[in-house]
Amino acid sequence: MIKVLVTGARGFLGKEFSAAVNKTPNSKLFTFNRENNIDELHAMVEESDIIYHFAGEVRPNSDEAEFERSNVGLTQIIIDSIRKAEKAIPIVFASSVHASAPKNGYGQTKQQAEILLKKYCETSCAKVWVYRLPHMFGPGSKPNHNSAIATWMHNLNNDKEIVVYDRNYPMTYCYSLDLMSDLVTHLNERVSAGYELLSPTTVYNTTLGEVEDTLRSFTESNNVSVEMSSFKRKLFDTYCSFSRV
């Protein structure tokens, strides 16, 4: 049996991945959320065979101290807990493309967390996978929190206006359920020590204007074309999840 610790298990990606773990044979799930304390985290780490670290601050209106505490501080606490347990636990970390050339507190603290994990890998002979995620969308995403797509879908479903400042702005998106397919592969992967910087297998390149037009088309018709592209189909499935809220 593999024992899996998921941090941020009630967040957008953590919740989806926790559900995937629960469907995986011979697995046991531990979850760490905001209401848990550090002693509980230590106990979970001691029991765990692998850690999926989703917890962190993503809200753009958060202050620098909150980004530092949630994205860097918690990562260090996890590493310290592993060392206290005298283990070398593999870690899968949900980072961001913004960590490559950070321009704000979010990107800077994700980059700092990556540095901590790389040092952990080098000093413990553990395996670390870092996923630099693009903009994410999918069922369970929160408006005014996870992505512009979630906010736009929420607004359109509630007869509110959406604002697009630059329709030609290029964007790369990843569907949350596609990412889950990547993440579960590490559960039963035979690993040796090493640090891997990864991107999701399936991403979609588009523009803000194309996304806006697609979402508006969903509000104007109840019919879904059988010829709809994979990206538009996933946008539609996500849009429908907002209409059921």
For residues 175 and 202, is the Cβ–Cβ distance under 8 A? yes
User: Could you report how far apart the first and last alpha carbons of the chain are, in Å?
Assistant: 36
- Confidence check: pLDDT of 64 > 70: yes
Domain boundaries of the chain, sorted by first residue: 2-243
227 or 172, which is more confident? 172
> What does the pLDDT look like over 77-114, one tens digit per residue?
999 999 999 999 999 999 999 998 877 888 899 999 99
Q: Radius of gyration (Cα) for the chain, nearest Å? A: 19
Q: What does the pLDDT read at residue 57?
A: 76
Span 115-129, average pLDDT: 96
203 to each of 140, 141, 174, how far by Cα in Å? Answer: 19, 17, 5
- Indicate the range of 59-68, 149-158, 218-227 predicted with least confidence: 218-227
User: Per the CATH hierarchy, to which homologous superfamily does domain 2-243 belong?
Assistant: NAD(P)-binding Rossmann-like Domain (3.40.50.720)
pTM of the predicted model as reported, rounded to 2 decimal places: 0.93
- Confidence check: pLDDT of 190 > 90: no
